Amino acid sequence: MTLLEVEHVAKAFADKEAVCDVSFQVGAGELFGLLGPNGAGKTTTIRMILDILKPDRGRIVVLGGPLTEAKKNRIGYLPEERGLYRDLKVLDCMVYLAELKGVERREARRRALAYLERVDLGREAGKKVSELSKGMQQKVQFGTTILHEPDVMIIDEPFSGLDPVNTQMVKEQIFAFRQAGRAILMSTHQMHLVEEMCDRLVMFNQGRIVLSGTPNEIRQRFASNAVRVEGCGDLSAVPGVREARPDRAGGTDLLLEPGVAPGDVLRALVARPATDISRFEVITPSLDEIFIRVAGGESGDGLAARGAA
Amino acid sequence: MNKWRVVAAHEYLNAVRRKGFLIATFGMPLLFVVLFAGVAWLALSAERVDMLGYVDNAGLLRNSPAQVVLTGDHLKGQGGLFPDQPVAITRYSDLTAGRAALDNKTIAVLFVVPSDYAATGHVTAYAPNHVPDLAQTRFTALLRQALLAALPADPRLIEPVVEVQVRTLDDQPSNTVSRILIPLLYGILFYVATFSSSSYLMQSLVDEKENRVMEVLGTSLSPGGLMLGKILGLGAVGLTQLVTWVTGGVLALAVAGNFVPDLAGVSLPWPTIALMIALFVPSYLLYAASLATVGAMVTVRQEGQQLAGIFSLLGALPSWFFVSLLTDPNGPLAIALSLFPYTAPMTLLLRQETTALPAWQIPTALVIITLAAAGMIWLAGRMLRYGMLRYGKRVGWRELGRALRGA
């Protein structure tokens, strides 16, 4: 079931096109990633989804229609950095923001206390928000995003300022959320987290979507035509291999000739009686590398085409 | 529960818990109580005198009896806080005899009328510490009696005009000098209540933009609902302040009346208080919406305060023309200021105390203020929607125009 739909959306500020022809859908139980360098149009897209900005063109469907006041109770939004009343006590701040999402006061209080307990902030409930460290504030902020149990959660850089322990804590909350069949749209720079967490993603560059798919699909699209092999025996002079060079981890990288598929090489290797293969994988770049390459103007399809030629 | 109610309750509680609010709200009546108590204390502790002496070197009082007892005279205001206190005044033949009486405390003060009194009007007084007011008034009264005795006995000779009673053209009595400060006091209190809650409103909007809570709020309720909640919640704060002051005034008068008999008969000017409350709602809405518009336009607190300064100057404008409003309470300036929405509240309050306001002016002004307030609330909602995400940049005038056209 699609909970969030963005169709051919465009938005320009003054004469600069911030977002251009952007489309994607997020379904129930899906964690969808928005990636891209700063200023690529991710936050503008999020603001259009949230009806803070009006798109110039295109259509946005939230929970089956336009975002109405009633639907706002079913949306959770974590803005990039800050978003809390600094002068309020942690508990008061969480309760107020939850009340504005339609949660009854006493229930909001109960949920807020339970959440704070869960993320090791039980003792901070009575402190002012400004007295908390950045990481603690981020956890409180995340709490306000989920306290009203929204169907769609939109989180902008949810892990900023968090150490590994707290990152893990927030990650578990997000997974539990996905488990419950809700939709999550997450924008972040932290590629390894996207790789590890997201079901699907789109990558923005200069206001346009330059890549979309599952992390695996994308990595494969950017794969150079090479495989990494570990094992014993002679790995030289394999048919279809242009060059073999040892890598740092003790294996060997085989660069294939154009038109040769990794499967052909594997079959050839297995057919050699003296060679024992313990590991064989297609070398794919990390999303980090892809991100940098894409931000530099490269497109996955073009590269794949070059590899195939 | 409607979300604007959540906002209103939150803003109300948040504002009334602030130190500034507590100081302004309870400090002010406390200050009045202290002032009243001070007056009462002064009254009680002022020195009473019952025996005076004088030496007459000018021969002015030679026809008076050697000792007279005066309880004020036929002129008003004699005797200050003790108008009925009888004081015996004794004549001594020379300074030595007078000083002796002073030394053995027969008399509290010894006055010496020098021989050149008729030319200079100078009098010397001897007293252990200082000369109480009462002693001086009574002795002055004695001199006045002696001087009057030489003239036709007409008190108007001394004070030809006691009070000018101003009447308007339609023959309404108008009362000026006696209550000059009171209307100003109402004006100031009203201004403080209106303005402090409006500026809370502006501050909270700017803070929310600075903290980016605005984005979260924007995804929770409509800009209109947010504005409504804030305006009502903080309006209740201003009303709380006014009610506290009125109550404080009633209490202070009740307490002070027990100590100072003069204050016992004074009651609060209920018509003015009623006018104040009637004016408060629309004029608070007007100022709140104006400052909210400013709050939605700017991004930094300081900038907001500068722009808010314009409105606070407008609101205080009538106090600059205070004197002309008092002397000509139905003049063109007074009427113009009464019908301009931003200056109307204070002008009407000042005039209410000095003149009988023509019947049409209060309702007309109320309607004008209400219309202006409605317009500003509409504009504030627009600007909030438009300026919500302007973190780094103030909304310029051209963009203001665009927002007005609904872009």
A-B contacts at Cβ under 8 angstroms: 62
Cross-chain Cβ contact A77/B216 below 8 Å:
yes
Contacts of B221 in chain A (CB under 8 A): 69, 72, 100
Residue A185 near residue A191 (C-beta atoms within 8 A):
no
- The predicted model gives A83-88 an average pLDDT of 87
B residues 270-329 near A, CB within 8 Å?
none
At B178 the pLDDT is: 41
What is residue A257's DSSP assignment? Answer: P
Grade residue B18 by pLDDT with cuts at 50, 70 and 90: confident
Please tell me the predicted confidence (pLDDT) of residue B75.
52
Look at residues A132, A185, A164, A150 and name the one whose alpha carbon lies nearest to residue A24. A185
Q: Locate B166 and state its tokens.
A: 């101003």
Minimal Cβ distance to A97: which of B212, B216, B218:
B216
pLDDT tens readout for residues B92-112: 988 888 888 888 888 888 999
- pLDDT at position B162 over 70: no
A96 has a chain B CB within 8 A of its CB: yes
Residues of B (332-391) whose Cβ lies below 8 Å from A: 388-389
Please answer yes or no on whether A83 and B388 come within 8 Å at the CB atom: no
One-letter amino acid for residue A288 of the chain: D
- Local confidence band at A276 (pLDDT 50, 70, 90 cut-offs): confident
Phi, psi (degrees; rounded to nearest 5) at B269: -80, 85
- Candidates A100, A132, A137, A145: best to mutate against B (most CBs of B within 10 A) is A100
Q: Which positions in chain A touch B208 (Cβ < 8 Å)?
A: 85
Quick check: B165 pLDDT over 70? no
Asked if A138 has any chain B CB less than 8 Å from its own CB, the reply is: no
**Taking CB atoms and an 8 Å cutoff, what residues of chain B touch A87?**
207
pLDDT of residue A129: 92
**CB-nearest partner of A100 from B3, B208, B388:** B3
Are the C-beta atoms of residues B78 and B39 closer than 8 Å to each other? no
Q: How far apart, in whole angstroms, are the C-alpha atoms of residue B334 and residue B356?
A: 13
Which pLDDT belongs to residue B166? 55
Residues of A in contact with B6 (CB under 8 A): 96, 99-100
Q: Give the separation between CA B177 and CA B166, rounded to whole angstroms.
A: 10
Span B31-54, pLDDT tens digits: 767 876 777 677 666 666 778 899
pLDDT digits (tens, 9 = 90+) for B198-242: 888 888 888 888 888 888 888 888 888 888 898 889 889 888 888
Q: Which of helix, strand or coil describes residue B288? A: helix
Q: Residue A268: which of A245, A236, A293, A223 has the closest Cα? A: A236
The more confident residue out of A211 and B162 is: A211
pLDDT > 90: percent of chain B? 6
Is A184 within 8 Å of A28 (Cβ atoms)? no
What is the DSSP code string of B322-371? HHHHHHSTTSHHHHHHHHSTTTHHHHHHHHHHHS---TTHHHHHHHHHHH
Q: Which residues of A touch B207 (CB under 8 A)?
A: 85, 87
A110 reaches B (C-beta below 8 A): no
> Out of A52, A85, A99, whose CB is closest to B215?
A52
Which range among A147-151, A291-295, B55-59, B279-283 has the greatest average pLDDT? A147-151
Given this model, what pLDDT does residue B174 score? Answer: 45
Q: Do the Cβ atoms of A79 and B216 come within 8 Å?
A: yes
Residue with tokens 């005039």: B351
Which CA distances in Å does B6 have to A99, B15, B228, B386? 7, 14, 11, 23
Q: Report the C-alpha gap between B252 and B245 in whole angstroms.
A: 10
A272 Cβ under 8 Å from any chain B Cβ: no
Distance from the B195 Cα atom to the nearest Cα atom in chain A, whole angstroms = 22
pLDDT of residue A96: 94
pLDDT at B177: 38
Phi and psi at residue A86, in whole multiples of 5°? -65, -30
Q: What is the pLDDT of residues B297-314, one digit of tens each?
A: 777 777 777 888 888 888
Query: Between B6, B212, B220, which is nearest A72 by CB?
Result: B220
Mean pLDDT of chain B: 78
Residue B45: phi and psi, rounded to 5, are: -95, -5
- Asked if B219 reaches chain A (Cβ–Cβ under 8 Å), the answer is yes
What amino acid is encoded at B185 in this protein?
L
Range of weakest confidence among A280-284, B39-43, B140-144, B344-348:
B39-43
Per the CB < 8 Å rule, is B389 touching A47? yes
* pTM for the structure as a whole: 0.71
State pLDDT tens for residues A3-51: 899 999 998 887 788 898 999 999 999 999 998 887 888 888 998 898 8
Contacts of B42 (CB under 8 A, 6+ apart): none
Find tokens 């929310």 and name the residue: B208
A-contacting residues of B 11-70, CB under 8 Å? Answer: 14
Rounded CA gap, A216 and B159, in Å?
105
Mean per-residue pLDDT, B128-140? 81
Residue A190: closest CA among A171, A177, A213: A171
pLDDT at B1 > cutoff 60: no
For the sheet with A226-232, list strands across it: A241-246, A252-256, A226-232, A276-282
Point out the residue among A52, A83, A99 whose CB comes nearest to the CB of B388.
A52
Mean pLDDT of chain A, nearest integer:
86
Asked if ipTM goes beyond 0.90, one says no
* DSSP-based three-state secondary structure for B154: coil
Residue environment code for B31-49, b if the CB has 16+ CB neighbours within 10 A, otherwise e: ebbeebeebbeebeeeeeb
Pick B211's closest partner by Cβ from A73, A77, A84.
A84
Looking at beta carbons, which residues of chain A come within 8 Å of B406?
A: none
Decide: B198 and B288 in contact? Cβ < 8 Å: yes
Average pLDDT over residues B271-296: 85
B213 and A100 in contact by Cβ < 8 A? no
